[in-house]
Amino acid sequence: MKVKVIDHPLVQHKLSLIRDIKTGPKEFRELLEEISMLMTYEITRDLPLEDITVETPMGPCACKTLSGKKVGIVPVLRAGLGMLSGMLRLIPTAKVGHIGLYRDPQTLKPVEYYCKLPTDVAERDFIIVDPMLATGGSSVASIDLLQRYGVKHIKLMCLVAAPEGVRLVNEKHPEVEIYVAALDDHLNDHGYIIPGLGDAGDRIFGTK
């Protein structure tokens, strides 16, 4: 399995809190924002830099600046929205696309209901964000969609993944790097991640 687990102590501590059944929507949203910010810090390590000279009050200083690589973030609706604000805190110039998918409760297959992407997709590196990578159907459908629009470089950032979902994305899209805060044990018969954290969308928006 090709997946990078972000094992930073702050991420792991906050992940334990967010999993807890006693954590309500307000705290869940705050933790998800914080974890997303920390994960973004890790997954943007390869952003290219270039040299610049900055004039400090004491004189010129050789510095670095981001070399203008354009980034796109695509939250998968609904639950991916919970990860967006934390990411935009660190990459405020990123453009944001939205993909609307829900998982049919019977077939567990993703059903697409919305897609709106930035116009200059081919020039940007994209990060797809969704807290849960379960069967992998939603992530594969999101990657397929972005590639149909001409996106070349995609990373996938999820909070919790099941091995089944990682394997499917690896198989269908070996070119996509997957970053998660945890790789859990398995899926149950209803396609929920065990131990997981329950239904991410419902916990973010308080719908159950």
Q: Shortest Cβ distance from residue 161 to ligand URA (Å)?
A: 10
Give the one residue of 72, 75, 82, 165 binding ligand PRP; rule: CB under 6 A.
165
In DSSP notation, 5-74 reads E---HHHHHHHHHHH-TT--HHHHHHHHHHHHHHHHHHHTTT--EEEEEEEETTEEEEEEEE----EEEE
Binding-site partner at residue 196 among ligand PRP, ligand URA, none, CB < 5 to 8 Å by type: ligand URA
Q: Shortest Cβ distance from residue 98 to ligand URA (Å)?
A: 18
Which of positions 78-137 make contact with ligand PRP (CB under 6 A)? 78-79, 101-103, 108, 110, 130-137
Q: Binding to ligand URA by residue 134, rule CB under 6 A?
A: yes
- By CB under 6 A, which span of 91-99, 119-127, 139-147, 187-195 interacts with ligand URA? 187-195
Q: Using the minimum distance from each CB to ligand URA, give the nearer residue, 118 or 191.
A: 191
Which x/- pattern over 129-148 shows residues binding ligand PRP (rule: CB under 6 A)?
Answer: -xxxxxxxxxx---------
Q: Shortest Cβ distance from residue 74 to ligand URA (Å)?
A: 17
Q: How far is CA 137 from CA 5, 20, 127, 140, 172, in A?
A: 20, 26, 17, 5, 10
Q: Distance between CA atoms of 207 and 82, rounded to whole angstroms?
A: 14
**Contact call for residues 126 and 95 (beta carbons, < 8 A):** no
C-alpha closest to that of 36 among 95, 84, 105, 94: 84
Task: Please provide residue 135's backbone torsions phi and psi, each rounded to the nearest 5 degrees.
Answer: -75, -25
Say how many CA atoms lie within 13 Å of 151 toward its Cβ.
Answer: 28
Binding-site partner at residue 78 among ligand URA, ligand PRP, none, CB < 5 to 8 Å by type: ligand PRP
202 tagged catalytic: yes
Three-state DSSP at 161 gives: strand
Which of positions 55-114 make contact with ligand URA (CB under 6 A)? 79
Q: Shortest Cβ distance from residue 191 to ligand URA (Å)?
A: 6
Catalytic positions, written as ranges = 103, 107, 199, 202
